[in-house]
Amino acid sequence: MSNPFGMRPGIILLREGTDTSQVGFCHFPIFFSFFSLENYHISPFIDTVLSYHPTTIYCINFIQGKPQLISNINACYAVSDAVRTTLGPSGRDKLVFDGSNVTISNDGATIMKLLEIEHPAARTLVDISMSQDAEVGDGTTSVVLLAGEVLQQIKPLVEEGVPPQIIRRYLSEAGQLAVQKVLDMAVPFEGAAKKDMLLKCASTALNSKLIASHQDLFAPMVVDAVTLLAEKDRLDDVNSLVGIKKIPGGDVRQSFWVQGVAFKKTFSYAGFDQMTKKFQDPKVLLLNVELELKSEKENAEVRITDPADYQKIVDAEWQVIYDKMDACINCGANIVLSRLPIGDLATQYFADKGLFCAGRVQEDDLRRVSKATGAAVQTTTTGLAADVLGTCGVFEERQVGDQRFNVFTDCPLSLTSTIVLRGGTEQFIAESERSVHDALMVVKRAIKSGSVVAGGGAVEMQVSRFLRNHALTIEGKGQLIVNAFAKALEVIPQQLSDNAGFDATDILSALRRKHAVEGDDGKWFGVDVTTGSVCDTFASGVWEPSDNKSNSISAAVEAACVILSIDETIIAPKSQDPGANATGMMNSQGKPMSSMMGNAMAASQGGARSGQLGPGVSYMKGRG
C-alpha cells in the first residue's frame, strides 16, 4: 500500500509487555504494545498503519483486562513448568549457574530463589515457595506446581469471559473446603507410635532428596535433634539450636550427630599445640572481649618529659592484658571462648596455666555453647564470678577428616545438637544440608500438628473426588470453577507418574476408580513409583504432616487469587533528567514535555537525535 504522505515516519518503539496478539490501536496518538520477548519486529499490519500517520509519536499502552490476565497466567505457568520435573522421589536435579557459582538441587525453594524472574506477577510464585519453605520446610515444589496448574485450568474460563471476581470467590470457597477435607482425613498420633510416625515423616521428606539412599542414617539424627527441643518446648528455635556443619571429603556414611555443640577449630596462634585438648566436667567462660595487644592508632600522640615515662606506658599496656587473663584464670575457668581475637600472648599464657582458649568463634556457635552449657557471655573481665560459668560432661578437640573440631558433649541443658555432614564434593554437601534442613522442619511441623496424612498423591485424589461431588450441588459458573480446581489437584499424582517414567493416564484412571468405587476405604491410594501402579501409601509408610498439605493448598489458592485480581500492570520509570519539565519542549496544550519526549519529537521531525530516550526505547528512522 502506497504512502499518501510520501515519507516514512520516525518511530519511538517501547519494547515492553506480553503478547503481540494483544496489540491495540487508537488515533492521535496511536498506542500499541509489544508484549513478547521474542517478538520485537513490527508486523506488516502495524507498518501499514504507521504509513498513514507520519507525524505521530507511538508509545506504550500497558494491556488491561483479559489480555493482562492471560499474560500473567502464561507467565506463572511457565515458571511452574521450570520446577515440574523435580517433584517426587524420581524427580531430577537442576543445575543453576549464575556466572560464578554452581548449584545442583531439586529443592523447589532453592531453585525458585536462584531463578531471576523478571515478570512482576510471576514473582508471586517465588513468594509462596519461600513461605512454604519457612512455614513447613517441605512441599515447596508442590505448592508452585499446584498454583500454576490452578491458573492453567482456570484460563479457559477467563478466555470465555467469566468475570475474575466470580472465579476468585469460588476458588476461595473450594480452597477452604479442600483444607477442611485434609484436616478431616488427618490421622493423629501420640504415645508409643509417635517416634515411629516422626521417623516415617523424616524418611518421606528425605526420599526425594539427593541423600534418599541414606535416609536410614539421617532420619534418626533429625528426629533425635528435634525431639530434644520438643521436650523443652523450644521447637521454634530449631534453626538456631540445631547446627549443621559441613566437612568436605570422606563418605556420606561418615556423617554423625553430636548431642551438644561442635564447631570447627578457629584460627590459632603460637602456643596452641601446648594446650590441653580434653577436659572432664570443665568450667566454660564465654567472652566478647579482645585479649590481644593492639598497635597504636594512626596519628596517636603521647607527650612525655622523661624517657623513663615511656617504659611506664608500655608496662601499663602489658599490665592491662595480664589483669584480664588473670581474671579469667582466677574465676575457675578451664575453657575460654571469645567472639573477638585471643592473641599469641594470651594463647601462650593460658597454655602455661593448663587452660584451653579459642578466639574469633562464630556468633551462632557461641550462642549455642551458651544454650548448652549455661554460660553467660561476658563483655568485660571485671568482676567475673563462678555463676557466669557453664559446664559440660566432656570437652575435646577431635579430628574429623582433615579438620579439627571442638566438641562439647553431655551438656546439662540438652538443648543443642549438631549434625556434621561429610561428602565428596561441595555441591553434594550443600544439597545434603538443604535436605537435612527440610527434614528438620518437617519433623518440627509434624510434632506441632500432631497428625499425618499419606503422600504419593493420595490426599490430592481424595480431595479432588470430594470437590467434584460438591460441584454437582452448585448452579451456574461456580460448578465449572470448582471442577477446574478439582482437576488441578490431580497434577501432583500425574507429575509423580511422569517423573517416574510411567504412563500418567493409566495411573490416574486407576486412582480415580479406586477413590470412586471404594470411597473412604480407598482414600489412601496413591502412586507407587517403584512398580508403576497404585498402592495404599499410608500402609507403605509414605507419611507427611497434615499441615504440609493444608498449607500447600491454601498458599496455592491465595497465589491464584492474587494473580486473578490483577487487571493492569503499570511501570513508571524515573525520569532521567530531573529538569526536563522546566527546559523541555511544549506540547499542544502549552505544557512542558520531558526531555525524552522532546528529543523524540525533534528526531521525528527531522532534527538531530540528542539526549537519552529512556530505558527500553529504541529510535528507528524510516526510509524516505
Alpha-carbon distance of 405 to 421, in angstroms, equals 13
Number of H helices, E strands in the chain: 20, 21
Look at residue 35 and give its three-state secondary structure. coil
Q: Is 305 a catalytic residue?
A: no
Q: Is 276 a catalytic residue?
A: no
Report, in angstroms and rounded to the nearest whole number, the Rg of the chain calculated over CA atoms: 33
Q: Among residues 285, 287, 244, 282, which one has the least CA distance to residue 264?
A: 244
Q: Is 107 a catalytic residue?
A: yes
Q: Give, in order, the Cα–Cα distances in Å from 455 to each of 45, 186, 549.
A: 53, 12, 9
Q: Among residues 150, 370, 400, 373, which one has the least CA distance to residue 282?
A: 373
Catalytic residue among 86, 110, 140, 266: 140
Quick count: other Cβ atoms within 10 Å of Cβ 540? 16
Strands 617-621 and 10-14: antiparallel
DSSP string, 293-307: --PPPTT-----SSH
DSSP 553: H
Q: Which residues contact 267 (CB under 8 A, 6 or more apart)?
A: 359, 360
Catalytic residue among 124, 141, 347, 569: 141
Q: Is 382 a catalytic residue?
A: no
The torsion angles phi and psi of 183, rounded to 5 degrees, stand at -65, -35
The answer to whether residues 487 and 153 touch, using CB atoms and an 8 Å cutoff, is yes
Catalytic residue among 133, 138, 365, 438: 438
Alpha-carbon distance of 242 to 230, in angstroms, equals 12
The answer to whether residues 488 and 146 touch, using CB atoms and an 8 Å cutoff, is yes
CA–CA–CA angle 336, 342, 344 (5° rounding): 120
Catalytic residue among 107, 133, 528, 536: 107
Task: Cell 473450594: give the residue.
Answer: 174
Q: Which amino acid appears at position 404 of this protein?
A: R
* Active centre residues (catalytic): 107, 140-141, 438
